Amino acid sequence: MRGMIVAAQPEAAEVGAETLRRGGNAIDAAIACAFSQGVVDPQMCGIGGFGAMQICMPSRGVHTVLEFLARAPLSATADMWADRFVGQTRDGFVFLLSDHANELGHLAAGTPGNVKGYCEALSRFGTMALKDVVAPAIRQARDGFMIRPYMHYYWAIDQRATGQVNTEDKLRLSETGRAIYFRPDGSLKRPGDRLANPDLARTLERIATGGPEIFYTGEIAREIAVDMAAAGGLLTMADLAAYQVREKAPIWGDYRGFRIAGNPPAAGGASLIELMQILGGFDLSVLPHNGSDHIRILAEAMKWMTIDKDAHMGDPDFVDVPLDMLLSPAYAAERAARIRAGEKASVPRSELAKDPPDTTVTCVMDAEGNAVSITHTLGQPSGAITPGLGFMYNGTMSGFDPRPGRAASIAPGKARGSAMAPTIVFKDDKPVIAIGAPGGTFIVPAIAQALSNVIDFGMSMSDAVAAPRIVCLSDTIDVSNRVQRGVTDELQAMGYGVARSYQSFAFGAPHGVRVEGDGWTGGADPQRDGMAIGV
């Protein structure tokens, strides 16, 4: 076998697998898949979005993190929306304004990072030319593809109860959106309908020929800046020209003899490592999986992780993140001792939790021992599309706290804190698992449960990512509908508030590849329509 790829969209996974068949390495496959995902799942990610990836190439001595998060416009200010702040969703993902300016339209967009991130990874660590890697995505945009069930589910979510704008309204915002996402009678397209985007095909062709420069300093940059100015957005040529990919060293944690390599802040690797190391204070393998004792430990560990994330996590260029404390085994042991003593942590929020579904992932491992995990997103789709370009801009500004003086507050050029946690797990200095998840603030709990399912409970990767999950980012434990009712009765008898999701597969969507003997096994969370393909 040449390798294995897992992705949340079958069309994109096939593109990555075909790239491996053509002789590409794991990085070539991951970037080809990433470009395709922006076509076939255009509200989850795209060239108007941002992301982060972790790359390990043992034969070349490479292990690095590329961070290409969206940045607040250089003209943004800490108090620009302070008088319009009305609240925060219970999952902590979105800060709500009275006029929705941070989530709908051109003002919601931060400087996109995906084009520069994809291209830097490919040029430094891939083996194929950009035009060859982008070609499948161009074909998909031009020829079209079938709308899948999860795409339509996301489009149709009613978010008004949380105070957010519905995605369908964002799809209607632009002339391009109305042309490609709706039927001739004005109704939203449905599963099985075809979606083609010729404007996006032409934009991708221009990037394939002109490289990232055309997007950040060339013709496309000028078109973006003109449209932003006309529509009242803050992004300018200066924002695009100043954008740089951050390269960082991975951060490390330990879990039962495995070493976990994560992305440093502003991404979510530190939160994942803290959560795993708290769980490491308990012998979970002797507990019934998803029994009340297991869930209580998971929930309390997640609450402590969330308390620390809310207090400390942000862009380290702007915020002092106490990494030594958060990654300390002694600190995790202290948290575990408080859980063992029966203490209940408190993370008060008021709104009902919703699974933030605005992100996607790709994980690849190949025969050379290379491992890649990439998480990329629009943050939230903004609805804004520049005429003729075909792609939707990110809505990253909704993730900044409009109140000045906080870790997540707005600042010019700042990246919002992100739960993205593309992760590689090592055993005896060799990468053995590449894993990631979409799901906003649910990403870290989802990955932690999948890893624990493999390591503590001996599950296959496919079983581990599909097992029922819980999340606890507030004083309520949210559970999948497949968690047994007798268990939630026991949790309520312990004094916990419990909210049951109507979904069988809820709270993030982990996808992973695992070394098995001389090959690999993979798992795609069934919630997202994806698949794992071995080549």
Catalytically active residues, by annotation: 359
Do the Cβ atoms of 262 and 423 come closer than 8 Å? yes
Sheet holding 62-68: strands in order across?
A: 246-248, 62-68, 50-57, 371-377, 359-366, 3-7, 531-534
Q: For residues 316 and 307, give the distance between their C-alpha atoms in angstroms, rounded to a whole number.
A: 18
| Segments in 102-256 forming alpha helices (H) | 114-125, 130-143, 149-156, 167-171, 175-181, 198-216, 219-231, 237-242
- Regarding beta strands 497-500 and 476-479, do their DSSP bridges make them parallel or antiparallel, or are they unpaired? parallel
- Regarding beta strands 470-471 and 476-479, do their DSSP bridges make them parallel or antiparallel, or are they unpaired? antiparallel
Other beta carbons within 10 Å of 249: 10
Other beta carbons within 10 Å of 59: 8
Instruction: Look at the block and give the residue holding tokens 């624990």.
Output: 452
Do the Cβ atoms of 172 and 178 come closer than 8 Å? yes
Q: SS3 of 516, please?
A: strand
Q: For residues 526 and 405, give the distance between their C-alpha atoms in angstroms, rounded to a whole number.
A: 41
Cα of first residue to Cα of last residue in the chain, in angstroms, is: 5
**Region for 353 from its dihedrals, namely left if φ exceeds 0, alpha if ψ lies in -120 to 50, beta otherwise:** beta
